[in-house]
Amino acid sequence: AGRLDSRAAVVAMTASPTSGRVPPRLPPDTPLRIASHCAAMYAKGAVAALSLHRVARYASRSKRLCTLATRCVVVNGVMFLGSLAVLDHALAPFVAWVLARWTAADAAGGASGASASSSRSLAASAVSSSFLWTARAAWLYPTYFASTVVNSFTAGEIARISCALAAEDDGARARARRRRETGSNELDGWDDKDEKNDGGRRGGVAGFAEAVYHVLIVNSLFAQITALSFVLTGTIGRWITRALQTWLYAYYCHDYLWSARGKPARWRLSHFEGNWCYYAGFGSPIVLISALNLSTFYASAVQAMAFPVFMIAAIASGGEGAEVGAYGENGGETTRQGTFPVFHLASASARAVLRLAGAGGGSKGGGAKRTKGE
């Protein structure tokens, strides 16, 4: 009986909120167990990000999704990376070869002396630099801007289709669970939307203020990462900025799913900060691309090609791995890894901007009320 009771307690603590059962409060734990749990949650997030079988399953169910993924590869892998390759490995070496021949011919023509050689080198360097800057301004930067715009629309369309497929999966699981509970194949008067979109949506001034607040939070975190990358240039600074980047990319990937389910911005932040280990693990494979010592443009192109894959993986997983922990009665999350204030500075900046604009920053409590299914 003691074994059964302990086993039932473990099952209750790890129950998913989507199952309708709210786990009890977790007992105090030792630092070693907490560290072990954090490492397990980090690994679970990384595994969820690398669940390519889910991405392949979604791609097999939608031809439109395959078309959009192909467009993303063509725009970033062929157009943008192709432009970079032509500029760096064809045009730049060709210009350098022409300038080398020009300086060699000038030297063979009779010009001599150290001052003449130095002036020719300076002139060649100036011409080469001018050519590279002109090529970047006239060709590379417009291509980068165009690919960014196309990526934005493509990612939104991929997210819309993936969320629709995820909604179908959620409905199928809910119907199967309902059949098991009732023992019948009929679902009289039951609607899938009750479980898919339990967060609700806000309209009017409050909804607009919440949308602005959400945009400001994401951009504030991005500005924070950019500023830290210039201030903290050592090894510690790189690790800090990459840790923030893991959370930023993980938030980007899951934000489409939360938006489709009608989760308010306050709920997203509370949920994210309560599962910071899981989302750090999810964003790590994306950030590892920047650790390959690629230039800024090459890393941006590779990340742009990889981002839809991780976004589909996030939507297909449904964030199930992060739904581990006890949920407080006032809407906050109490997980074994604790709450890490990932968005503290970003949220404070967003609230300050909204207060200056007179739109308000939402309630000071910071948490959205949960429904029974959450």
pLDDT at res. 47: 92
Predicted TM-score (pTM) above 0.75: no
Environment class of 103 (CB within 10 Å of its CB; exposed 0-12, middle 13-18, buried 19+):
middle
| CA distances for 226 relative to 141, 152, 223, 351, angstroms | 20, 20, 5, 20
Q: Which helix (H) or strand (E) holds 253?
A: helix 235-260
Which pLDDT value is given to residue 323? 56
Tell me the CA distances in angstroms from 184 to 18, 21, 176, 195, one per residue in order.
21, 22, 10, 19
| Confidence (pLDDT) at 280 | 92
327 bridge partner residues:
333
- pLDDT score for 282: 93
- Reported in sequence order, the residue ranges of 136-233 that DSSP labels E, i.e. its strands, are none
Closest CA to 253 of 307, 324, 320, 197: 307
Residues present in the chain in total? 374
The pLDDT value recorded for residue 238 is 81
pLDDT confidence of residue 32: 84
Q: Is the dihedral of CA 131, 133, 137, 139 positive or negative?
A: positive
Give CA–CA dist 117/207, Å, rounded. 68
Residue with tokens 């629309």: 153
Phi-psi region of 62 (alpha: psi -120 to 50; beta: other; left: phi over 0): beta
Cα 203–chain centre separation: 26
How many other CB atoms are there within 10 angstroms of residue 245's CB atom?
19
Question: Which residues of the chain carry a pLDDT beneath 50?
Answer: 1-21, 24, 187-203, 324, 329-330, 361-374
pLDDT at 43: 92
